[in-house]
Each structure stands twice: as C-alpha cells, then as structure tokens.
A and B are shown apart, each in its own frame.
Chain A
Amino acid sequence: MKTDEIDKKYSNKLYESAYDAANMCVQCGYCLPVCPTYLTMGNEAQSPRGRINLVKMAAEGKIDILNDLKEPMELCLGCRACEVACPVNVPYSEIYESALNVIAENKKASKSSHTMPDKLLQTMLKNLFPKKKHLRTAGSFLWFYQSSGLSKLTQKTKIMEMVSKPMGQFERALPKVESPNKRYKFGEHYKAVGERKMIVAFFPGCIMDAVMSKINRQSIELLQKCGIEVVIPQNITCCGALHSHQGEVDATKKLAKQNIEAFEELGVTYLINNAGGCGAMLYEYDKLLADEPEWKNRANKFVARSRDITEVLAEIDEIPYEKEWRGVITYQDSCHLRNVQGVIDPPRKLLKSIPGATFVELKNSHLCCASGGIYNLLHFEESMEILDEKMLHVIKTEASTIVTTNPGCLLQMRLGIERSGSKNKMQGLHLMEVIAEACGIN
C-alpha cells in the first residue's frame, strides 16, 4: 500500500473505534484542572480536551496519525483523572486505548518509523513480562547485584547514569530486593491464623513478583494474620496493563483469558491484588473482552470478584496491630486505584487506624505522580517535571513516610525523595509494608 492509503486506512479505523466517543466531548474544559500533563506543560495538546479533539481530527483525516497524533497520545499518563472529572462521562480511556492501538498498528505498517526503543519494548513485552520465570530470574539477579556490594560500586562510579540517565536514577531508588529463597510459591495455600473467615486468591503481578516480592509476602502474611486463607493461583500471569498501554490489544486479551481461567479453577471468594495499576486492568477485563461473547460472562464474574487488598482489610474491624508507628504519614493515591476502581477511602481509613501514626492528607494527592506504567522511563523529562512539582507538596506535609499502593508509584516516589534531597528525612513505602510492620510482620 502507498503511504497515504495506509494513512487513510488507519484514520478510518480510528473513526470506527473512537469517533462517537470523542464526539461526546462538549469541550467544556472541566477536565483541564486535573490533568497533570496539562498542568506542567501548559499546552492544550497535552490536555484531555485537546487529546480528544486531536483524536477527532485524526479520525476525520485532518491530521496525521503518526506525525501529529502520536506524540500527544504517548505523552498522556493514562491516569484517567480526566474521566472522573468529566460531567458528561466521556469514556476517555476507550478513546485513548483506541488511539494507542491505531498508532501501534500504523507504526508497524509503516516500518520506517519503527525506532530502536520501540523494538526493545516490543520484545520485552512479548518475552519478558508474561513469563514469570524470566522475571523472577531478573529479580534474583538484582538481589545478587544489591547484596554483593556491586550496586554500591556502580552507584559510586555512576556507571548506570552514564548508560542512561533515567535508568541510573531509578536504580538508586529501587527498594532492597528480598532474598529469592524467601519467596512464596505458585499453587500454594497459606492457611489463616486462628479461625478462617474467608479464602481468597492473591494476584502476585509481574514486577511486584520479581522485585518487590517482599511486599507480596508481607501482604500474604498479613491476610493470614487477619484470619484469611490465601492461595496463589498456579497459572496466573501478568495483568496485561503494560501491553495495553502500548496498544497491544491481542496480547492483552490473551493474558486476560489466562488469568480468568487460572482464577476460575479455584472457586474462592475474591481475587485480591495489592497493585493499583494491575488491579485496574483486572477490573476492566469485562470491557476488554466485551466483544467476545464466549468470554464476556466469564469476565463479568471475574471482575465482580476482583478487589484491592485495602478494600478487604478496611472491612476487618480489628487489624491485629502489635506496634506503635512513629511519625507523620502521608499518602499518594495510585491513579488507577482511585480513578478506575474508585478506591479512595479504604487506604486512608487504614492509615488512620495505625496506632501512633499521624496521618496528614497530601495536597493534590489525587493528581498523578507521573509514574504511569513505564511512562517515567519512556518520557523521563516530562515525568520528572510532574514529580518535582508533587514533591513540593509532599515536603510541606513534613511527613517522614510517604505511602503508595502501586509498585510504579512507589518507585517514582522514592525517586522523588532522592531528587528532592530528602533521603535522610523521609522514606517511601507501600501501604502493605507499613501495616505489616505495625502488625509485627517483617
């Protein structure tokens, strides 16, 4: 096909998949004040209203998908704050995903613009993330790297920063990886302490499983201590969020189906996760599979039983606390937990319940920290601008601990602490680490 024919094909496809939704926008701008990229970049093209309009323009064939639409869409964090703010319920994420999908296909079709980082990312998505063994190996390597003193050496010499600035900075923000032999096992049941109140499945995720397995282990032990039996489904895999954000719809659907099957086999009450981003993806499998009749019903059931761990814990009257916490805690919402799953109060309720801790609400905690999946790796400068702005508010709370509920956000906030020079005054922790520690689980 000639290039302009290709272009026409994809703008038609975009028209089919997103035009009606984009046309619902009345351009009132109510979404502007909640959009982090608009707030830092100050440009209409980097606002929800602007992006929706550009999708419309691309669908009408007025602008080019790769030359004009690609950049503004890729600079969107996918935090979906705009969706919640919209008075007329424009389905932003549908428009966003359609656009990403068409951009990805168009990129493949016009191979010339297939750049190196793109290729690397595709390979990683295809081969690394859905394969827990590979990821776990990477995690073990990281553990070796950190515990052997090698990391201190590279940090001192700044080798990593010389390879890539973002990588170098993230490397320093990584929490300490737990020794591989402390890991929970897939397919295993972990019995409740005391009388069993419930039996649930736990979703370990891929990044969480590989490098933050300690948080997963603590979550499991905490659930046990609260009287809940936990099973790790044998065949559970990556949630597909990263694939979905790169416009890889087919790959995402494949992962979703595998997860639904893995969960169905168990017959337990809930599928619990502790990562806002993964949770949101699981929470929308029904939308993802809406056009596949044989899967729709199964997806509905799956979604109805998907819960964030904070929702379950917040309903337990007495969390078995054993220790007092010292200092001020503040909380940064995970966008996907807040905007997609609508979980706003439970994490706050839990934090307020910790004996000894003082909870201080963070101003603008509802605005994305710009971790956004792997946004911070792909768009380092843009992301850091949003993060640095956020840190100004964090510092004002005078907190000694900033808490999040998603691995990406956690890394990002730890990086924020580094960058703002607050390392000796402040730590960044996952909510489960805090609750677990207060319950005497280390």
Chain B
Amino acid sequence: MMNRLSTSELLNLIEQEIPRERILDSLANRYSYSFDASFGEYLPDIIVQATTKEEVSFLLKLANEHQFPVYPRGTATSLSGGSLAVHGGVMLDISQFEKKLIVDQENLLAIVSPSVITSEIHEAAESVGLFYPPDPSSSHVSTIGGNISENSSGPKGLKYGTTKEYVIGLEVVTPTGEIIRTGGKTVKNVTGYDLTRLIVGSEGTLGVITEAIIRLIPKPADRKTLLASFDSVINSGKAITNILASGILPSAMELMDNACIVAVENYMPSGLPTEAAAIIIIEVDGYKVAIQEEIDKCAEVCERFNATSVKVAKNEQERERIWKSRRMVSPAITQLGPTKISEDATVPRSKIPEMMERLGEIREKYKLNLVVFGHAGDGNLHPNILTDIRNVEEMKRVEDAVSEIFEAAIELGGTLSGEHGIGLLKAPYMSLELGENGLLMMKKIKEAWDPKNILNPGKIFPEEGQKKVVLI
C-alpha cells in the first residue's frame, strides 16, 4: 500500500530519472500488469519498465526512502503468482531491459541480461555446438531472469539438474538499491557465502537480477526415445526406479496418467493407448553406441515390469511425435475446465507409486477433475485440477484438495515445489515443510537483505494467520 505518497507524487519522483514513456499508469496498463499465468489479480499503481541497472537501483532507493513495494516481473509466466502486486505499489518490468547475450566459447559460458528469453540462449549455445540444459516448457516466453529467480527446469532436470547448476555469477541490485556481484566466471568458487545460490530461486525477494553468467556444456552427440505403456501405475513407477537403479541416467523420464492420455487423444489424436493406466516416455542422450545399449536396457526393464507395449522411435519424426503428445498434455486438459490449477508437488522417486495412489484418493474424495503428469525421473509430479473459477462451491473443494496434495507430498518426504516456486499460492504451507525454525531462518535472511520489506512482499512467507491457500 502506498500510504505515504499519492500516485502523482510518486510519478514525479520516478520521472526524475526514468523517461516518462517507460512509466505506465493508465488503467488499461495497470490491468495489463495485474496478472500472471496463475489466476491471481492484483492492480499495481504504476509500472516502470527499467532498462539499466542504474534505473533499478534508483527505483529501489526511492522505494526505501518512501516505503512503497516493488515487484520484479519478467514475462509473467509464473504459475505461483510470483510477480503479482499483492500490496499495490510499483511493478518493475524487466522484460524490456537492454538485451545482452554473449557466448564465450572458450570458457564454456554465456553472459546474459535478465530480459533474454531462455530459448534465445538455447539457440545461441547450439549454434556453436554448446548446450544450455534447463528447459522449462515456457522457454520460448519466459525470461532468464525469471528462470533464475524461480530456479526453473523441465524434463532434462533429471540428468542435467536445474537452473541453479548453471548459474555461476550474478549482478544483482539489492533491495536497498546497492549494485553487487556474486560468484564470477569460474566454475569453482568458494570465497565466502555462496550468495549466487541464495539468489537463484529467491523469487525476486532478495534482489533484482540485472546480469547473469551461466555455464554451458558440450552438446550431446545423439539421443534416443521410447514410449512404454502400462496397465498399472505401480508398475510404471517400478520400471522408473529400476531403470535408474540399473545405472542408466536418462536425459528425461516423463509420466502421463490415464486421464491425461485420454485428454490428449480427444484433443489431438496421437495414437496413444487410451486404455493404458499410465505411459512413460524415456529419452537417453550421449554417444551413438552408448545410447543404443542404454535404450535397449530401458526397454528390457519396462518389459520386466509388465509393460503392455514398448516402442523405440526409429527416426526423428517418430521421436517428435512422442514428444508432441507429451507437450499436448497441458493444452489438452484445459478442455476439461477453464480454470487450471497446476501443482508441482515433488516426492522422492521411490515414492511415486504411493503418491499416485494418494492423488487418486484425493480425486475421489473431492470429486474433482484431477489429472497427473510430470517429470517422473526426478519425482516431480504435476497434479492438475481443472475447474471453473465461477463455480464457488467447487473452488472451495479445490482449496481443500490442494492442501491435501501438499500434505501428502511432505508426508512422503517430498517438497511443496519442484519447479514452479512458492510465490503467493504456496506460502501458507511453508512451515509444514520447513518447520517454524527453518522458516524463521529464512525470514531472518530476508530481513537482513530487505529491512523495510520493499521487494516483492507477500511472496514465499505466509502473512499473519495464513494457514491454507485461498483461491477465491
């Protein structure tokens, strides 16, 4: 809440350093920055499109002096309400930041500004035979700044890890407006506290990222993909854990339950077995000879656990078809209801079968359209509930179901979020996973960096008395 200054006073102050055309305050603009890919809606008072670190620093210093909140925003694809202006104030749009994307082939790294779209990094790296593995499905839209802030990843997380494995240096404007550098250009760096890792995944609460140095690796020579169907989810889970136990580390292992398979087939027929209880997609990458042996072994394990069919893609076309059916899951399931609540509760992979069972029970208990797919190899499941926000009675049931999903994940030794972040929507459950003291340590860190709670307030930490998610 901007209780100290009126909007016009604030405008005048910001205008001293930032050109008027990059300060937006019309009602249409305010509504245009009031949402992200979750379904929250909060009106910011002003939007500032910063293009340099100096402008960010200026704005944050101003915010500390006059106590108004600032919310960094990339391209707002966050599914957890990460950039929403929950207390009004200034939306800091980073998507228009001066673009810089330098690939340093010799040192296997890239230096990027926060506004660069992730797929642009993929392209730049691949054009010189290198590889930047983190691959969220939103990679053609989301910014690297947003990816770093959310520690994003995708199917390749299993073998290659998440964004944090690749960020080795950052330039950050702290919540009090100082410009600092963390880490550097070396892969090894043990000088003091590892602030780089602290910032990665901090969801815009500890600083605004204005530049990043990211590590690249050589591009794998080849890849092979298979699709296996099962008539029991338990068996598919066992196949997954046994493949990993056999010493193979696939580059991706994706799971779809029956509801997802049926939804995809209804939406865009891809030849998936609609009677299967679950299918898994496995991809291995590396040297040609090695991957042939590995994919054969994966097929063997699937068969040992009673797969009803196992198909290895013979060419790029078949491979693309398999992946297309996986990519179609999200759009296909939205046909089941206009409001899509996408969770990413993650469990240790040995617990996948158990988690699937628990999710089945929750679906029955609350009578909801609940479907499950996800990155099974790393235990990162995406239970999705399809509903209609206008149906108040059902939304209340959804709230309870969501709480139960988180409780189940944590009981099984898992976590609230595998990749979408805590944001606004999961803040109430933080102490469930971390315990009161664990959460307190995190709060102390936030207070040390941001004594006036200027930067992205209302995220990660629950507000007083908040115990569960309130969707409407």
The reply to whether A28 and B33 form a contact with Cβ atoms under 8 Å apart is: no
In the complex, what distance in Å separates the CA atom of A88 from the CA atom of B263?
13
In the complex, what distance in Å separates the CA atom of A65 from the CA atom of B444?
47
In the complex, what distance in Å separates the CA atom of A262 from the CA atom of B334?
42
In the complex, what distance in Å separates the CA atom of A148 from the CA atom of B31?
54
Residues 14-55 of B contacting A (Cβ, < 8 Å): 24, 26-29, 31-33, 35-37, 39, 49
> Digit string of A22-39 for contact with B (CB within 8 Å is 1, else 0)?
011011111011000000
Q: Which of A62, A64, A71 counts the most B-chain CB atoms under 10 A from its CB?
A: A62
Q: Which of A23, A28, A54 counts the most B-chain CB atoms under 10 A from its CB?
A: A28
Nearest A-chain residue to B33, judged by Cβ: A44
Answer whether residue B229 sits at the interface, using C-beta atoms and an 8 A cutoff.
no
In the complex, what distance in Å separates the CA atom of A69 from the CA atom of B31?
11
The reply to whether B49 and A42 form a contact with Cβ atoms under 8 Å apart is: yes
Answer whether residue B138 sits at the interface, using C-beta atoms and an 8 A cutoff.
yes
The reply to whether A42 and B141 form a contact with Cβ atoms under 8 Å apart is: no
In the complex, what distance in Å separates the CA atom of A27 from the CA atom of B32?
11
In the complex, what distance in Å separates the CA atom of A88 from the CA atom of B35?
18
Answer whether residue B100 sits at the interface, using C-beta atoms and an 8 A cutoff.
no
Question: Of B96, B141, B328, which is within 8 A of A28 by CB?
Answer: B141
Question: Of B31, B39, B96, B141, which is within 8 A of A54 by CB?
Answer: B31
Q: Which of B32, B36, B328, B338 counts the most A-chain CB atoms under 10 A from its CB?
A: B32
Q: Which of B24, B26, B39, B335 counts the most A-chain CB atoms under 10 A from its CB?
A: B26
- B residues near A64, Cβ cutoff 8 Å: 27
- A residues near B138, Cβ cutoff 8 Å: 28-30
The reply to whether B32 and A54 form a contact with Cβ atoms under 8 Å apart is: yes
* Cβ distance B154 to chain A, nearest Cβ, rounded Å: 14
Answer whether residue B443 sits at the interface, using C-beta atoms and an 8 A cutoff.
no
The reply to whether B334 and A63 form a contact with Cβ atoms under 8 Å apart is: no
In the complex, what distance in Å separates the CA atom of A67 from the CA atom of B35?
21
* Cβ distance B21 to chain A, nearest Cβ, rounded Å: 10
- A residues near B35, Cβ cutoff 8 Å: 27, 53
* Cβ distance A172 to chain B, nearest Cβ, rounded Å: 30
The reply to whether A28 and B31 form a contact with Cβ atoms under 8 Å apart is: no
Answer whether residue B129 sits at the interface, using C-beta atoms and an 8 A cutoff.
no
The reply to whether A26 and B334 form a contact with Cβ atoms under 8 Å apart is: yes
The reply to whether A63 and B29 form a contact with Cβ atoms under 8 Å apart is: no
The reply to whether A32 and B338 form a contact with Cβ atoms under 8 Å apart is: no
- A residues near B75, Cβ cutoff 8 Å: 29, 32
In the complex, what distance in Å separates the CA atom of A42 from the CA atom of B95?
8
The reply to whether A72 and B141 form a contact with Cβ atoms under 8 Å apart is: no
- Evaluate whether A63 and B31 lie within 8 angstroms (CB atoms) in the complex, with A33-B140, A43-B24 already known: yes
Answer whether residue B162 sits at the interface, using C-beta atoms and an 8 A cutoff.
no
Answer whether residue B331 sits at the interface, using C-beta atoms and an 8 A cutoff.
yes
Interface size on A, residues (CB 8 A): 29
- Evaluate whether A43 and B29 lie within 8 angstroms (CB atoms) in the complex, with A30-B140, A53-B35 already known: yes
The reply to whether A68 and B28 form a contact with Cβ atoms under 8 Å apart is: yes
* Cβ distance B164 to chain A, nearest Cβ, rounded Å: 23
- A residues near B39, Cβ cutoff 8 Å: 27
The reply to whether B31 and A62 form a contact with Cβ atoms under 8 Å apart is: yes
Q: Which of A44, A68, A87 counts the most B-chain CB atoms under 10 A from its CB?
A: A44
The reply to whether A28 and B27 form a contact with Cβ atoms under 8 Å apart is: no
Answer whether residue A59 sits at the interface, using C-beta atoms and an 8 A cutoff.
no
- B residues near A45, Cβ cutoff 8 Å: 28-29, 32
- A residues near B27, Cβ cutoff 8 Å: 63-64, 67-68
Answer whether residue B77 sits at the interface, using C-beta atoms and an 8 A cutoff.
yes
Answer whether residue A14 sits at the interface, using C-beta atoms and an 8 A cutoff.
no
Residues 284-329 of B contacting A (Cβ, < 8 Å): 328
- A residues near B117, Cβ cutoff 8 Å: 33
The reply to whether B49 and A33 form a contact with Cβ atoms under 8 Å apart is: no
- B residues near A87, Cβ cutoff 8 Å: 328, 330-331
Answer whether residue A50 sits at the interface, using C-beta atoms and an 8 A cutoff.
yes
- A residues near B28, Cβ cutoff 8 Å: 45, 54, 63, 68-69, 71-72
* Cβ distance B375 to chain A, nearest Cβ, rounded Å: 18
In the complex, what distance in Å separates the CA atom of A71 from the CA atom of B142?
26
Answer whether residue B76 sits at the interface, using C-beta atoms and an 8 A cutoff.
yes
In the complex, what distance in Å separates the CA atom of A44 from the CA atom of B36?
11
In the complex, what distance in Å separates the CA atom of A67 from the CA atom of B29?
12
Answer whether residue A368 sits at the interface, using C-beta atoms and an 8 A cutoff.
no
Answer whether residue B215 sits at the interface, using C-beta atoms and an 8 A cutoff.
no
* Cβ distance A31 to chain B, nearest Cβ, rounded Å: 9
Answer whether residue A57 sits at the interface, using C-beta atoms and an 8 A cutoff.
yes
Answer whether residue B340 sits at the interface, using C-beta atoms and an 8 A cutoff.
yes
* Cβ distance B20 to chain A, nearest Cβ, rounded Å: 14
- Evaluate whether A42 and B33 lie within 8 angstroms (CB atoms) in the complex, with A29-B77, A30-B141 already known: no
The reply to whether B32 and A26 form a contact with Cβ atoms under 8 Å apart is: no
> Digit string of B94-129 for contact with A (CB within 8 Å is 1, else 0)?
011000000000000000000001000000000000
Nearest A-chain residue to B340, judged by Cβ: A26
- A residues near B24, Cβ cutoff 8 Å: 43
- Evaluate whether A57 and B334 lie within 8 angstroms (CB atoms) in the complex, with A27-B37, A28-B37, A30-B140 already known: no
In the complex, what distance in Å separates the CA atom of A32 from the CA atom of B76?
11
The reply to whether A43 and B36 form a contact with Cβ atoms under 8 Å apart is: no
Nearest B-chain residue to A89, judged by Cβ: B331
In the complex, what distance in Å separates the CA atom of A53 from the CA atom of B36?
11
Question: Of A26, A57, A68, A88, which is within 8 A of B26 by CB?
Answer: A68
* Cβ distance A285 to chain B, nearest Cβ, rounded Å: 27
In the complex, what distance in Å separates the CA atom of A26 from the CA atom of B95?
20
In the complex, what distance in Å separates the CA atom of A87 from the CA atom of B141?
13
In the complex, what distance in Å separates the CA atom of A32 from the CA atom of B75?
9
Nearest A-chain residue to B74, judged by Cβ: A29
* Cβ distance B287 to chain A, nearest Cβ, rounded Å: 33
- A residues near B49, Cβ cutoff 8 Å: 42-43
In the complex, what distance in Å separates the CA atom of A335 from the CA atom of B57?
42
The reply to whether B32 and A44 form a contact with Cβ atoms under 8 Å apart is: yes
The reply to whether A29 and B31 form a contact with Cβ atoms under 8 Å apart is: no
* Cβ distance B463 to chain A, nearest Cβ, rounded Å: 24
Nearest A-chain residue to B327, judged by Cβ: A87
A–B pairs, 17, beta carbons within 8 Å = A26-B334, A27-B39, A28-B330, A29-B76, A29-B138, A29-B141, A32-B141, A33-B140, A43-B29, A53-B32, A53-B35, A54-B28, A57-B31, A62-B31, A68-B27, A87-B328, A87-B330
For the complex with contacts A29-B142, A67-B27, 20 further pairs of A-B residues with Cβ separation under 8 Å are: A23-B338, A26-B37, A27-B76, A28-B138, A29-B138, A30-B140, A32-B141, A33-B141, A43-B24, A43-B49, A47-B32, A54-B28, A62-B31, A63-B27, A68-B27, A69-B28, A87-B328, A87-B330, A87-B331, A88-B335
Q: Which residues of B contact A (CB under 8 A)?
A: 24, 26-29, 31-33, 35-37, 39, 49, 75-77, 95-96, 117, 138, 140-142, 328, 330-331, 334-335, 338, 340
> Lowest 10 CB-CB distances: which A-B pairs, in order?
A87-B331, A44-B32, A45-B32, A68-B28, A50-B32, A29-B141, A42-B96, A88-B331, A88-B334, A27-B37
